[in-house]
Amino acid sequence: MKHIFKMGMISACIGLFFSCKKQVSSLSEDYYKKGETVYFIPGGNDFERGSRKMDVDISSFSVIKNVYARDKNTIYFMGCPQQLVDAKTFKLKENIPVDQHHVFHFTGFPSATGACSKQQLSIVKGADPETYTTLYDQLQSLSKDKTHYFYQSLPIDVDYKTFEILNENFVKDKNRLYVVTQKGINPLQYTTDQIKVVNSKYLILDGKKLLYYEPHQGIGVLEMALPTVNNIRLLDRKSIVIDQLVIIQGKRFSFTDVDAESFKILEGIGGNSFWSGDKNHIYYNEQLLSEADPKTFKVLKRAVAKDAKHIFVGDKIFKDADVKSFRVVDKSETSHDFEDDLGHKYWYRPKAGGAELIPVEKK
């Protein structure tokens, strides 16, 4: 009991100590003063994120922006003095840390409690600080200066003058086409003479080949032969219709008799549920639901839907509720997810391949 009381007093004292802290500058919510001592506290929340007591020249200390600060001799990042930076010429150029000789980046795990040896900015090798800029709006992790392109701050071997970003999956230069992966920009064995950019995910080469990159499970670049390319209809980023082909995530739709002209996405790809339909059929995760009526069918929530005669939970018919009055409810007003006029109430619980409805026990 004494031990618990003692720990509580210590926590209270620490809380009282930091409650008196004062934010150094409106430019950052991470640097605070307590008396003549400066602390780095991410977001001012020392309880959850920890804090770092700093040894600074208090008379010249100032915040640059966010996690960056300085005094007359030193640049600080995450509250840690930086070893490779020239303090006199350091600045943030469009939020990029640079000095007169180098561009810097951080590749570690940001921490207010970890060793400062692991909170150090690294030099972007070969980058020109005067012309270096990020291309984040065009392609995440890509940047350039006057002579080089960089991916994740590493120079890439491409022809600078003819390099072009096609979409978020592919880039090219005069020599070849490249795929953008999570680890780098890798060359492909395709010519780049005739390329049609379909959207942010798809390319068509020479009017004959459709390319799509799937990063998950090591699938890589998917290629599909196209008999014709007369009409392209975009459904979402990963779903397109080309003439009579319905294509989902780089592959032909599983049900071969799908009507391409009337096909539409009813509930987007992602998670455990994917509803789609055409004028004749409804599909769940690309599997035909022969009992579903496309004229009256509607998705209620994720893997739960209904038509005039049935309630569907994934690819199964749910028979324990009144179809006509079965509805999704506003969770801000109640704890359950679905109900009907007969007093049935259900919670929604995701599971592999779809979901299940859990009855709420009546009180």
58 within some domain: yes
171 part of a folded domain: no
Burial of 322 (0-12, 13-18, 19+ CB in 10 A): middle
Residue 10 has pLDDT above 50, yes or no: no
Q: What is the pLDDT of residues 135-180, one digit of tens each?
A: 999 998 999 999 999 999 999 999 999 999 999 999 999 999 999 9
Confirm whether 52 is domain-assigned: yes
pLDDT band at 48 (very low <50, low <70, confident <90, very high): confident
Asked if the structure places residue 66 within a domain, the reply is yes
Q: Note whether residue 97 is domain-resident.
A: yes
Beta bridge partners of 301: 304
- The answer to whether 63 and 92 are in contact (CB under 8 A) is no
Domain that holds residue 82: 19-123
Please compute the mean of the pLDDT values over residues 333-359 and round it to a whole number: 93
Contacts of 354 (CB under 8 A, 6+ apart): 272, 273, 284, 285, 303, 313, 314, 315, 316
**For residues 321 and 305, is the Cβ–Cβ distance under 8 A?**
no
- The residues near 113 (Cβ < 8 Å, ≥ 6 apart) are 50, 51, 52
Residue 195 banded pLDDT, cuts 50, 70, 90: very high
Q: How many domains does the chain have?
A: 1
Residue 304 lies in a domain: no
Contact 212, 221 (CB under 8 A): yes
Mean pLDDT computed over every residue of the chain: 92
* Per-residue pLDDT at 19 exceeds 60: no
Q: What is the pLDDT of residue 331?
A: 82
pLDDT at 272: 62
For residue 25, is it within any domain? yes
Residue 354 resides in a domain: no
pLDDT-derived band of residue 1, with 50, 70 and 90 as boundaries? Answer: very low
Cα 194 to Cα 146, 159, 172, distances in angstroms? 28, 18, 12
